[in-house]
Amino acid sequence: DAKTTQPTSMDCAEGRAANLPCNHSTISGNEYVYWYRQIHSQGPQYIIHGLKNNETNEMASLIITEDRKSSTLILPHATLRDTAVYYCIVRVRGADGLTFGKGTHLIIQP
Amino acid sequence: DVKVTQSSRYLVKRTGEKVFLECVQDMDHENMFWYRQDPGLGLRLIYFSYDVKMKEKGDIPEGYSVSREKKERFSLILESASTNQTSMYLCASGPGRLDTEAFFGQGTRLTVV
């Protein structure tokens, strides 16, 4: 699986959009970008995934650059409950298991 | 909603005890996984299974075994618990090898004394 690089921590004001970057410069053509988050004392929660095109669901949007070497997860209107560690994972869909890095600790400020 | 249920939220066991961590999912998923999570090391895959009675080693299988007798249940076994197995254990399930959106349980915090 391609390695990912994320900032260790980020702050965002409540009600604003939270933009979480992820670099994956060694990504292969068949590797997907996945995002999970882990709220304190809970198991990780799936957010969204994509291959080339931008994706949106009820939780977030995923913007993947044209060269696929980086992506951004967007939480459009962050709330205090969005405070969590966010993991960007790059892997082949259908592969076994998920490799989690250190993630970004997003802190939403009131 | 998919539900992955782990039998215990907190567990304290003695060194040398045999420990069973149970995980049940209610969505008929083929894939099930066991991870452990430690500060500074993140989540690490211990074992996974993609079918009943099938199991595959993950990145850190030493000291653990697993059992999958029924599709909905995946058990992690510590044959002889040691203090370095004190950790948060997370179970996950997913809908098949071609689809990898995994759903996690709440975790079991195991302390071995």
- pLDDT, one tens digit for every residue, chain A (110 residues): 668 999 999 999 999 999 999 999 999 888 889 999 999 888 999 999 999 989 999 999 999 999 999 999 999 999 999 999 999 998 876 666 778 888 999 999 99
**B60 reaches A (C-beta below 8 A):** no
The token duo for A73 is 């997860």
pLDDT at position A96 is 67
Name the DSSP class of A57.
-
B94 in reach of chain A (CB within 8 A): no
Contact B103, B16 (CB under 8 A): no
Check residue A100 and give its pLDDT.
Answer: 84
Cα atoms found within 13 Å of the Cα of residue B13, Cβ hemisphere only:
25
The two structure tokens encoding residue B10: 């907190």
Least CB–CB distance from A97: residue in B58, B90, B98: B58
| Ramachandran category for residue A22: left, alpha or beta (phi over 0 → left; psi -120 to 50 → alpha) | beta
Q: Which residues contact A48 (CB under 8 A, 6 or more apart)?
A: A34, A35, A55, A56, A57, A59, A60, A61, A62, A73
Contact list, B31 vs chain A (CB under 8 Å): 96
Note whether A34 contacts B92, CB cutoff 8 Å.
Answer: no
